[in-house]
Each structure stands twice: as C-alpha cells, then as structure tokens.
Amino acid sequence: EFNNLLSSRLATMKDAKKIIESKPDNIELVFTGRNAPDELVGIADYVTETRMIKHPFNKGRKARKGIEF
C-alpha cells in the first residue's frame, strides 16, 4: 500500500522515484493503495482502479465466510 504511505506523508515522491530508478530492468514494481499522486500516475506504465459497482451487502446480505472474509 505504498500510495497510502505517500498520502499519509510517511514516504515522499522522492522516495518513490529512488525506488523506481534503482530497480533492475527485469523487475516490475506494483505500487498499491488509493489516491496515487498525479506525479506517480504520470510515470507509471500501468494504472488501474478497482471499485465496487454492486454487492449483495447493499441488499442486506451479511458477509459470508470464504467470500467476503
């Protein structure tokens, strides 16, 4: 959840760039977490966002062992 470290200021973009620039060419990094800074989005090769569209919980179904937890 590196993006959360950035948003909570426990890490800086300078830290992120240092990690990115020092990695071997055969390694791909995955920075996870919400609210990736625009600067990180700009230098990333991939950017995805996952969000809930529909869930049985919204109709009153309780969380099920092995599914939601």
pLDDT digits (tens, 9 = 90+) for 14-56: 999 999 999 999 999 898 888 899 999 999 988 998 888 999 9
At residue 8, the pLDDT reads: 92
- Predicted local confidence at residue 34, as pLDDT: 87
42: helix, coil or strand? helix
The neighbour count for residue 17, using CB atoms within 10 Å, is 13
Residues 6+ positions from 28 with CB-CB distance below 8 Å: 45
- List the domain boundaries for the chain: 2-59
